[in-house]
Amino acid sequence: MLTISVPATSANLGPGFDSIGLALDMQLTLTVLGPSDQWQVDHPYGAGVPSDARNLIIKTALGLVPNLTPQHVQVTSEIPLARGLGSSSTAIVAGLVLANELSGAPFTKQELLQKATALEGHPDNVAPAILGGLVVATYADKKVRAVSLPTPTWAASVYVPNEELLTSASRQALPKQLAYGDAIAASSIANTLVAALAMKDWTLAQKLLEQDRFHEQYRSHLVPALEIVRQTAHDLGLVGTYLSGAGPTIVTLGARADVEKLQHQLRLNSALTGQYHLLSIDVAGVKVHKS
Residues making up the annotated binding site are 80-90
Alpha-carbon distance values, 186 to 130, 178, 216 (Å): 28, 10, 12
Q: Cα-Cα-Cα-Cα dihedral of 62, 65, 67, 71, to 10°?
A: -60
Q: Which residues are annotated as a binding site for ATP?
A: 80-90
Strand stretches in 98-249, DSSP E: 134-140, 143-149, 155-160, 241-243
What whole-number distance in Å separates Cα of residue 57 and Cα of residue 43? 11
Determine the Cα angle at 171 with ends 165 and 172, to 5°: 100
What whole-number distance in Å separates Cα of residue 209 and Cα of residue 12? 9
What whole-number distance in Å separates Cα of residue 203 and Cα of residue 152? 11
